[in-house]
Amino acid sequence: MTYPKIPLAQTVIQLCKAKNIKHIIISPGSRNAPLTIGFTNDAFFKCYSVVDERSAAFFALGIAQQLQEPTAVVCTSGSALLNYYPAIAEAFYSNIPLVVLSADRPKHLIGIGDGQTINQKNVFDNHILYSANLKLDLKDENNVSEYEELPILKNLENKFERLLGLQKDIQTYNEEEINTAINFSVFKKGPVHINIPLDEPLYKTVDKLSVTPKTIDVSIKSNEIEEYVLQSCLEDWNSASKKMILVGVNYPNEIDKKWLEEIAQDDSIVVFTETTSNIHHPSFFSSIDQIIAPLSDEEKSQLQPDILVTFGGLIVSKKIKQLLRKYKPKQHWHIDSKTANDTFFCLNNHIETSPNQFLEAFLPKVTHYVKSNYKTYWRVIKQKRLKKHKDYLEEIPFSDFKVFSKILKSIPNNYILQVGNSSAIRYTQLFNINKTLEVFCNRGTSGIDGSTSTAIGSAVANNKPTVFITGDLSFLYDSNAFWNNYIPKNFRVIVVNNQGGGIFRILPGHKNTENFDTYFETNHNYTAEHLCNMYGFKYESASNEDSLKLALKAFYKEDDKPKLLEIFTPKHINDEVLLNYFEFIK
């Protein structure tokens, strides 16, 4: 087998292998050549070449999102590394394990005017679980000065002894740092950065390893809930007549169905589930804004819970945030083994375990259901809303709203549904989703920048067919996502093109002015057709209800190419249709 000659590169690659990091996304470069040589010559690794580092990092995030295990990205030195930052921030807030391996110049070559050189040490400090800044392998006496801070140099004066022990000390330090970083990513679920100084010559290879790094395992802390915490929760729970459970981003099948059934039996509990929760039950409330948006102040007060229980990731619905910040629950418990956000400014209990473990420990000890009409009252509201929703769809013209209704109904069973941010996920939230779909969206930072790349990474990692629904600005922004050779034939993209940032027409502000059109909505006349031709996608378009119906008939059928359907909607009525919806369903 072929290995890079540099011991540090060998160490990084061997420890990635020992930690079972199989998927390696490499962006071409020279400084990272030793890493590229090592990864691509070992059949254990599945290597991908993605030129655009920003796209590469989101592509890796999509793989890690589906596999729920660390995926590595490898880049050269300089600004290449900074292009990873949007995906790193998303991984940080979405608890997705991402391992960043950045090649760097040696310390003595930084800050002297060399090209492709920046200060890479701790560059992601505010959005990273751990930063490992490795030491350069010792080549000769000339780079001894880089290690003056190491313990072995502080007490030894003899040059020979210094050189004799230094490389061993460097190797031990690097092994510990790499192990620690990867362990953080695995067990804390998030991004880590390993910065790797590599000196020339970069391309030399050997056929035998010169180092055998030590693998350091980590003990996993038990997530068992202490008895006094359970008892305290039970006392409050058993006396509360209005309890609300709100579920944000949640992986499919994370909660046992028997606990969902148990919760559904209790009339004192209202369960609100977001599209990204991947939780379904007939008695739960899946379209939150549909329920909340038309409420009067008196009705909002009636919805105010005694106890709010939240779990899962970040919440899309701005309306539920506004309601619960104004009509605060007496108690807010958040269940998560890692973090708890005080989203509603009333958090008083962070239960540090997984949601399923909590329910398993808690629900069997609930001795009785509190007599309450809380859920019954809101179930009646829900039924009225659903009827009005159906009536509204029959009377509105072709628009974003109607398009989302049609495409969400069209998706076959057992697909992965990836949704873009901004308008796309907000429209999706207004409809009941086929319960066989698994839904994902980059809600950690809610950015539009890497949604397409994430969806493609997800499709690569998962055998299930994937459909990605996005708006035109998000799609165009991340158009380099198509610049790779790994897109599966069963990957489908739906672009809802309203010729600009349609969401800004819904928000307060002066519309239909040159300033608004240019700087807020960002009007354009671009389409996806030429991109599809360049990247080998089959392209279809629709601009009215009949052409959309015809296009959707063949869209999901097997083909020898991935497909993209672009749907053009009239931008000047979309905001009016959506805003009128909430009035209509009152």
- The answer to whether residues 61 and 145 belong to one domain is yes
- Is 207 inside any structural domain? no
- Is 11 inside any structural domain? yes
Is beta strand 3-4 parallel, antiparallel or unpaired with respect to 205-206?
Answer: antiparallel
**Model confidence at 145: pLDDT above 80:** no
Minimal CA–CA distance to 37: which of 152, 207, 165? 207
Minimal CA–CA distance to 181: which of 250, 129, 122, 224? 129
- The answer to whether residues 260 and 328 belong to one domain is yes
pLDDT of residue 331: 97
- The answer to whether residues 370 and 262 belong to one domain is yes
- The answer to whether residues 405 and 551 belong to one domain is yes
- The answer to whether residues 511 and 467 belong to one domain is yes
Compute CA 513 distance to the chain's CA centroid, rounded to the nearest angstrom: 35
Instruction: Indicate whether this model's pTM tops 0.85.
Output: yes
Minimal CA–CA distance to 193: which of 91, 69, 94, 107? 91
Q: Write the CA distances from 480 to 83, 456, 525, integer angstroms.
A: 13, 11, 19
Domain of 309? 227-379
Of 407 and 159, the one with more pLDDT: 407
Average pLDDT (430-446) is 96
- Contact at 8 Å (CB) between 132 and 178? yes
The CA distance from 576 to 579, in Å, is 5
- The answer to whether residues 453 and 566 belong to one domain is yes
User: pLDDT grade, residue 519 (50/70/90)?
Assistant: low
pLDDT tens digits, 273-318: 999 999 999 999 999 999 999 999 999 999 999 999 999 999 999 9
pLDDT tens digits, 14-51: 999 999 999 999 999 999 999 999 999 999 999 999 99
Q: What is the CATH number of the domain that holds 434?
A: 3.40.50.970
pLDDT of residue 149: 54
- The answer to whether residues 31 and 113 belong to one domain is yes
Average pLDDT (561-568) is 98
- Contact at 8 Å (CB) between 332 and 308? yes
- Contact at 8 Å (CB) between 169 and 151? yes
- Contact at 8 Å (CB) between 419 and 275? yes
The CA distance from 197 to 42, in Å, is 22
Of 161 and 393, the one with more pLDDT: 393
pLDDT of residue 204: 97
- The answer to whether residues 360 and 448 belong to one domain is no
pLDDT tens digits, 482-502: 999 999 999 999 999 998 765
- Is 565 inside any structural domain? yes
Least confident of 84-88, 137-141, 529-533, 574-578: 137-141
Q: How far apart are the first and last CA of the chain?
A: 69
- The answer to whether residues 245 and 118 belong to one domain is no
- Is 212 inside any structural domain? no
- Is 520 inside any structural domain? yes
**Model confidence at 460: pLDDT above 50:** yes
- Is 388 inside any structural domain? no
- Is 204 inside any structural domain? no
- The answer to whether residues 407 and 375 belong to one domain is no
- Is 217 inside any structural domain? no
For the chain, the domain total comes to 3
pLDDT of residue 518: 67
pLDDT of residue 141: 46
User: pLDDT grade, residue 136 (50/70/90)?
Assistant: very high
Q: What is the CATH number of the domain that holds 269?
A: 3.40.50.1220
The percentage of the chain sitting over the pLDDT mark of 90, rounded to a whole number, equals 85
